[in-house]
């Protein structure tokens, strides 16, 4: 039988996935922890904050000032999660011999801060309820100048060939 994620692993996956998603969208290795938490509905912020604290303590996430990002253990954890979700037949064997994953999964299983406060199905939808982070858009100045130059050139060609 294929391995499935425990409730604690699922909650850790959702939180680490939120951080990873924000980092990917901003094209930076870290993202603002405060900004991430501010997008979470108010009633969910306390357990999201506690969960992020637990993941930092276990080395899944790393901080630099008020910024947060995936640590090397976090990358290994997300690779493990991907293997479980893809139902890889070697997941159990990979975990048994892994010096980082085995203690990390044991720590996640024992940490009460990663016990889901709501049914797992509701927590899985947490990322869907967050507003997507949108990086600053580039100005359309180049496009405006290109249009103006093109219009001027067209008028010049019309005058020349009249």
Tokens of 101: 């994953």
Choose the weakest-confidence range: 26-30, 101-105, 142-146, 150-154.
142-146
Measured CA to CA, the distance from residue 46 to residue 44 in angstroms comes to 6
Structure tokens at 125: 């939808």
| pLDDT above 50: residue 136 | no
Q: What is the pLDDT of residues 20-52, one digit of tens each?
A: 998 988 899 999 998 888 888 888 888 889 999
Pairwise CA distance, residues 25 & 3, whole Å: 30
Provide the whole-model pTM. Answer: 0.72
Return the pLDDT at 143: 64
How many C-beta atoms surround the C-beta of residue 116 within 10 A? 19
Sketch the domain layout of the chain as residue ranges.
Answer: 7-160
pLDDT digits (tens, 9 = 90+) for 52-76: 999 999 999 999 999 999 999 999 9
């Amino acid at each position: 039988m294929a391995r499935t994620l425990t409730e604690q692993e699922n909650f850790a996956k959702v939180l680490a996935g939120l951080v990873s998603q924000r980092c990917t969208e901003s094209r930076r290795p870290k993202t603002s922890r405060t900004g991430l938490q501010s997008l979470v509905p108010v009633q969910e912020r306390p357990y999201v904050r506690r969960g992020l604290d637990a993941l930092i303590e276990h080395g899944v996430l790393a901080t630099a000032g008020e910024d947060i990002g995936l640590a090397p253990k976090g990358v290994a954890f997300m690779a493990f999660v991907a293997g479980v979700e893809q139902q890889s037949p070697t997941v159990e064997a990979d975990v048994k011999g892994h010096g980082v994953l085995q203690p990390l999964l044991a720590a996640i299983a024992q940490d009460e801060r990663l016990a889901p406060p709501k049914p797992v199905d509701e927590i899985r939808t947490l990322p869907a309820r967050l507003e997507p982070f949108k990086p600053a858009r580039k100005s359309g100045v180049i496009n405006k100048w290109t249009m103006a130059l093109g219009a001027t050139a067209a008028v010049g060609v019309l005058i020349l060939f009249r």
